[in-house]
Amino acid sequence: MKTICSIMLAFALMCGQAFSQVETERKAGFQFGLFPPLSTNGLHSYRYTNDVSLNLLVGLSKNENVLTVGGLANVVTNEANGFQLAGLVNIAGKESRGVQFAGLANTSKHHAGFQFAGVINVSGDVKGMQWAGLVNKARNVIGVQWAGLINIAENSDYPIGLINLIRHGEKSIAITYNETGSVVTTFRSGGRFLYGIVGIGYNHKTSGRSYVTEAGFGAHIYCLSRIRIHNELKLSCFGYSNNPLIIENDHLRHTVFHISYSVLPAIRLSPHFELFGGPSLCYMNAGKTNERLVSYRNLWQHTGISRSQQIYIGYQAGIHYIF
């Protein structure tokens, strides 16, 4: 994706160089086009600063001030301000300010405001928010990164994603145990305050297949130099039947869905090791064979024909190796 965006931007710059000897910068209140050079700005669209641009397929300009709409792509070789909307890709050669909304990708050298992309956002320094279906990539982020899968940055305190590769953030491997009998190895990654959780493990109590998968999000609350509190919201599944994707005919009779919110005081034993543990508010949806997996006094319970649901207070404990 980055290669495609680079090719499009390079093409725009080459077009500009071809006419640079005879043309100066121009301005237009409104620009309409199909693709360069089939537009109201003609062959010299690369030199125009537009207030409003409407491009049925691809737009090309030097600067945009208010609104830019492209059926496929908007290519702005310098600065893009205001609102950019593209079916596939928004490209700002230098800075962008405001909102970039693209079905596939947004890219800019620096961005202030909001970036929304169906797949990926790529920027340098970001002040505001990046939201992507899969991946956000930036250098320094003042604000929030939200991604369906991965956030990448050098500095980002508030990444929200399952995996967060923050160069000056925190990463750890943890081994945890909870009241259901699940022993899980997890990878936690994030910034100073927010982090993501993914893990796999084994449950020694369940009927059915005993492997566990786990995912979630967490937030650090700092108390003292060696003491902090982890707040974690997690979903785990275990006790799988032969085909967990088929729900009729009681094929999910073993499978357990477990959601928990945990408050986990933690103490740092050394620069790399940390112990943590605490109570959890849990919701469990289990097949009949696993309805007695937790024998605690329930806060709420509902038993159906083939599955049971319960809300109860559980626990979690573990140890981190931080790197």
- Output the tens digit of pLDDT for each of the chain's 323 residues: 555 555 455 544 444 444 444 457 799 999 999 999 999 999 999 999 999 999 999 999 999 999 999 999 999 999 999 999 999 999 999 999 999 999 999 999 999 999 999 999 999 999 999 999 999 999 999 999 999 999 999 999 999 999 999 999 999 999 999 999 999 999 999 999 999 999 999 999 887 678 999 999 999 999 999 999 999 999 999 987 655 455 554 556 678 999 999 999 999 999 999 999 999 999 999 887 777 787 667 899 998 887 889 999 999 999 999 99
Exposed / middle / buried, residue 313 (Cβ in 10 Å: 0-12, 13-18, 19+): middle
Amino acid present at 230: H
Look at residue 107 in the predicted model and tell me its pLDDT: 97
pLDDT of residue 18: 41
Give the start-to-end residue ranges of the domains of the chain. Answer: 2-166, 170-322
From the list 171, 150, 160, the residue with the least C-alpha distance to 219 is 160
pTM: 0.86
State the CATH architecture for 170-322.
Beta Barrel (2.40)
Residue 104 pLDDT: 98
Cis amide bond preceding 279, omega within 30: no
Q: For residues 53 and 39, what is the distance between their CA atoms, to the nearest angstrom? A: 10
DSSP one-letter string for 192-237: SSEEEEEEEEEESS-SS--EEEEEEEEEEEE-SSSEEEEEEEEEEE
- What is the token pair recorded at 168? 């000056």
Q: What is the pLDDT of residue 33?
A: 93
Q: 104 is written with which tokens?
A: 């596939």
pLDDT recorded at residue 131: 98
Residues 6+ apart with CB under 8 A from 128: 111, 112, 113, 114, 115, 142, 143
Give dist(CA 56, CA 237) in Å, integer.
46
Q: Residue 245: count other Cβ atoms within 10 Å of its Cβ.
A: 8
3 state DSSP class of 316: strand
Contact 74, 59 (CB under 8 A): yes
* CA-based torsion, 283, 287, 293, 298: positive or negative: positive
Q: How far is CA 318 from CA 32, 176, 185, 197, in A?
A: 60, 4, 10, 14
d(CA 19, CA 46): 9
Confidence at residue 254, expressed as pLDDT on a 0 to 100 scale: 75
CB neighbour class for 2 (10 Å; exposed up to 12, middle 13-18, buried from 19): exposed
**Cα three-residue angle 76-122-62, rounded to 5 degrees:** 10
Start-to-end Cα distance in the chain: 31
Question: Given CA atoms 21, 27, 28, 34 in this order, what sign does their dihedral have?
Answer: positive
Amino acid making up residue 100: Q
Output the CA torsion 287→291→293→297 (10° steps): 150
How far apart are the C-alpha atoms of 109 and 76, rounded to whole Å?
12
The predicted pLDDT at position 15 comes to: 47
The tokens describing 42, both together, are 């003609």
